[in-house]
Amino acid sequence: MATGIRDKVAILGMGCSKFGERWDKEADDLMVEAFEEAIADARIEKNQIEAAWLATAIEEQHVGKSGVPLAVALRLPYIPVTRVENYCASGTEAFRGAVYAVASGAADIALALGVEKLKDTGYGGLPQRGRGALNSMYWPNLSAPGSFAQLAAAYRAKHSKKPEDLKRAMAHISVKSHANGNKNAKAHLTNKITMENVLDAPLIAEPLGLYDCCGVSDGSACAIVTTPEIAKSLGKTDLITVKALQLSVSNGTEASHNSWDGSYFATTRIASKRAYKEAGIERPREEIDLIEVHDCFSVTELVTMEDLFVSPEGGAIKDVLDGFYDAEGQIPCQIDGGLKCFGHPIGASGMRMIYEIYLQMQGRAGPRQRQKVPRYGLTHNLGGFPHQNVCSISVIGRHGE
């Protein structure tokens, strides 16, 4: 019987580039920027890395389809390099590959890196691309803001919420994230905003306004992982280990018939239940200390709080407005600024979330450091649209706890 990966893999080091409009840098430069911080943090030599995973989504725009660009950019020592792509969960998918390699005994030390140069595409948002069932049947008539606006409408109708209450909660989420991003020099957007800014902003797709939407960005993030035993032998103490990694992928049910009402993410509910079981978490609202979620839109963050079983169903608006998820609240969400302030370079976002949890657990998050050092942190990525998507969940914690 499968036993999961709890405490079988430790994070040896992590790094993250500055996110933003990095016009003066190539994808290779961003990879090197994140890697140099990670390997310095890990305190190892490059030739000790035995396998690597590269995550990037819109590969035609910068790195290409293989793992070669990572090996070349970092001058890796002729080791296996695997390129992965799974929509917006790509970064966490690379992390999962490296973690599973170590947990299985296939590698002692493994590298995961995510990168994306989206500003170079010339698109204001994420480009539609490719063929196949999903693109041909569904995506030509969709936009991301329009699709997630439908999520907001379905949530509002199901739970009989007043439009103004949902708008205020969404605005609070955006204001909160910008206040957090203001303390993070690596974020793309570091400006504070007000409730009035959000509520008075132009509509993109009702009820989503300008400040309810995350932007497009360039960035890279990196992790080096090993076993707890090897980490200790290398002089690492106070280990941060992986408690759970779960991935759930839509099978078409949500898009096929009305058993799904459009008000929640089925994949998030399934993946989070699996992750909690793997991590040994029974009461997420009480045991999770820090959350980074896929806040592509403010309503996505709100709905995700219920799909993670942190807020009760229909209760996220109250929790948000009560400050439950604020930086000084019970469970801060997006304490680094989230996608809202970092933007969303697809291949890097999942790894960037883990990077923040890792820093917070080591007390190294600077001006945004949580006073209560987290015991468990959770990251969540969502790729695709509400009716058909992939969801990845990671749970990170202190070794042995």
What is the reported pLDDT for 128?
A: 52
298: in domain: yes
128: in domain: no
Structural domains counted in the chain:
2
Q: Say if residue 95 is in the same domain as residue 198.
A: no
Question: What's the pLDDT tens digit per position in 138-167?
Answer: 555 678 888 999 999 999 999 999 999 999
What is the reported pLDDT for 333?
A: 98
Share of the chain above pLDDT 70, in %: 94
Q: Say if residue 309 is in the same domain as residue 184.
A: yes
Instruction: Give start and end residues of each alpha helix (H) in 44-142.
Output: 68-74, 90-104, 133-137
What is the reported pLDDT for 196?
A: 97
| Lookup: tokens for 389 | 């998507």
What is the reported pLDDT for 140?
A: 57
**CA–CA separation, 110 vs 53, rounded Å?**
8
Flag whether pLDDT at 134 surpasses 50.
no
**CA–CA separation, 12 vs 39, rounded Å?**
9
Span 188-212, average pLDDT: 96
pLDDT band at 123 (very low <50, low <70, confident <90, very high): low
Share of the chain above pLDDT 90, in %: 84
Which amino acid, one-letter code, is at 134? L
| Lookup: tokens for 361 | 């657990």
What is the reported pLDDT for 400?
A: 83
The question of whether 344 is a catalytic residue gets the answer: yes
Catalytic residue from among 344, 380, 387, 391:
344
pLDDT band at 122 (very low <50, low <70, confident <90, very high): low
Q: Say if residue 196 is in the same domain as residue 225.
A: no
**CA–CA separation, 3 vs 55, rounded Å?**
27
Q: What is the extent of the structural domain holding 82? A: 10-120+218-236
**CA–CA separation, 214 vs 174, rounded Å?**
9
312: in domain: yes
14: in domain: yes
Q: Are 113 and 53 in contact (CB under 8 A)?
A: yes
Q: Say if residue 366 is in the same domain as residue 289.
A: yes
Q: Say if residue 329 is in the same domain as residue 311.
A: yes
2: in domain: no
How is residue 61 annotated by DSSP? Answer: G
Question: What's the pLDDT tens digit per position in 338-352?
Answer: 999 999 999 999 999
| Lookup: tokens for 303 | 């709905």
User: 72, 89, 84: which is closest to 32 by C-alpha?
Assistant: 72
Handedness of CA 91, 87, 248, 378 (dihedral sign): positive
Extract the runs of DSSP E, i.e. beta strands, from 20-74.
51-55
**CA–CA separation, 25 vs 34, rounded Å?**
13
What is the reported pLDDT for 133?
A: 47
Flag whether pLDDT at 132 surpasses 70.
no
Catalytic residue from among 16, 62, 88, 333:
88
pTM for the model: 0.95
3-state secondary structure of 82: strand
Q: Is the bond into 367 cis (omega within 30 degrees of 0)?
A: no
Domain boundary among 236, 271, 288: 236
Q: Say if residue 85 is in the same domain as residue 165.
A: no
Q: Which residues contact 89 (CB under 8 A, 6 or more apart)?
A: 247, 350, 381, 382, 383, 390, 391, 392
Q: Say if residue 110 is in the same domain as residue 142.
A: no
Q: Say if residue 81 is in the same domain as residue 175.
A: no
Question: What's the pLDDT tens digit per position in 251-309?
Answer: 989 988 888 999 999 999 999 999 999 999 999 999 999 999 999 999 999 999 999 99
91: in domain: yes
Report the residue count for the chain: 401
Q: Are 108 and 229 in contact (CB under 8 A)?
A: no
Q: Say if residue 280 is in the same domain as residue 222.
A: no
Q: Say if residue 107 is in the same domain as residue 199.
A: no
Q: Say if residue 103 is in the same domain as residue 150.
A: no
The question of whether 341 is a catalytic residue gets the answer: no
User: 84, 89, 14: which is closest to 350 by C-alpha?
Assistant: 89
**CA–CA separation, 348 vs 222, rounded Å?**
8
202: in domain: yes
| Lookup: tokens for 236 | 């690492």
Q: Say if residue 96 is in the same domain as residue 163.
A: no
Extract the runs of DSSP E, i.e. beta strands, from 227-360.
240-249, 290-292
Span 381-392, average pLDDT: 93
What is the reported pLDDT for 401?
A: 81
Flag whether pLDDT at 127 surpasses 80.
no
133: in domain: no
Q: Are 116 and 57 in contact (CB under 8 A)?
A: yes
Q: What is the CATH number of the domain that holds 294?
A: 3.40.47.10
Which amino acid, one-letter code, is at 65? K
